[in-house]
Homo-oligomer: A and B are copies of this chain.
Amino acid sequence: MAEINRSNFGLSSGRLFQIFRDGQPHTKAELAELSGLARSTISLRLDQLISLGLIAPSAENSSTGGRPSAQLALNENAFVVAGVDFGASHAVASLANLGGKILVSIETKRQISDGPEVCLRWMIAELKHLLAGQGLSDDNLLAIGIGLPGPVEHSTGKPASPPIMMGWDGFDVPARVNQEFKAKVLVDNDVNVMALGERHVAYPDVDHLIFLKAATGIGSGIISGGQLQRGAQGTAGDIGHVRVSSGGDVSCHCGNFGCLEAVASAPAIIKKLVAEGLPIRNTSDLIDATRRAKVEAIQAIRQAGRDIGEVLSTCVSLINPAVIVIGGSLSSAGEHLIAGVREVVYARSMPLASENLSIVASRVGREGGIIGANVLAIEHVLDAETIDLMVEQSIAR
């Protein structure tokens, strides 16, 4: 019957579960030693997690002379989460398993400036559609991660004075979504979300990482001390409007002069090249030009890299990261952008801070947004407290 196993002391089921988040299989004996609890107690706890589906037997262990130990591992397919990435003029919705593997995704052209009601209605309809396509009900969806192109107060899920998101300011995104899904809703800045995605895929063990996105705008997501840093108002990492030396008195749409974004963003570079007579209309034209080894384009990209590097060298002094990842559409232009970044950062940084610093191109690329959005959701779902709550509820009924 419903034995009430309240984990009052020591490791609760949820905290025990954290051990499995590395994705590796573990034996009961191993867990018992790690936690200091008796094997029989561990068994009880694991039974709870197994009955929830979160843990499942994995490949059998080879014998060490006696009965082989059963291996248990995280069951990535126990539930699904959703990851949604809104850009300025596009949107992607996706479902992923608990391992962060994208199951399905769908992209559309959609203006963020259409406002929250329109955008979120699209998202909700699309998620319901994707769930149905996977043969799942709404209850299988435990959390929804959303990336938005502007500052977000993550604790409440409300956008904060976003410059390009008309109608979104202060809109209670989780409340709106929860009218349709009871899943937990996590909202964050899109660049923060991309930082999470990059870390999840390529640098799971790095605790100090800066992700820089260079595209129409320039922004960064900062992971320091293993945690995403959001700052007091949720604007941490907003480096697009830092003044750079080559900025001079170039005016920026923010109202100031000489901002990084005013000289090194895709529109800024295009504007400059057009003034030089090159027939470049958009970012993909720009990328093409660098692929065709058009000298002016390459030089412009490289200079943008130097400008970005100037700001990043300050970041290196401040944050002392182990890895800087360069992403965004501009980074598709081969190694030219990164070469410029490296040139300046390594010239300007103190030896101790730069000797173990890697400056690399994004490995996940365009998928970083939705992967990160899913990671945002997964981190909530697999949190010890969330798991403890699930265990409790499953005992209650």
Contacts and interface: CB of A to CB of B under 8 A. Distances in A.
A245 B241 CA distance: 16
Nearest to A219: B317
A220 to B, nearest CB: 8
A315 B318 CA distance: 8
A272 to B, nearest CB: 22
Contacts of A62: none
A264 to B, nearest CB: 15
B256 A236 contact: no
A319 interface: yes
Interface in A202-223: 207-208, 220, 222
B10 A232 contact: no
Interface in A279-326: 310-311, 313-315, 317-322
B161 A232 contact: no
A24 interface: no
A235 B385 contact: no
Given A151-B352, A232-B208, A239 B7 contact: no
A109 interface: no
Contact of A238 (B235, B238, B353): B353
Copies in the complex: 2
A161 B353 CA distance: 11
A311 B225 CA distance: 22
A277 interface: no
Interface string A239-252: 10111010000000
A314 B313 CA distance: 11
Interface string A325-369: 000000000000000000000001011110011000000000000
Contacts of A233: 320, 352-353, 356
A100 interface: no
A230 interface: yes
10 contacts: A10-B10, A10-B15, A208-B232, A225-B230, A231-B319, A231-B353, A233-B320, A237-B318, A238-B320, A238-B350
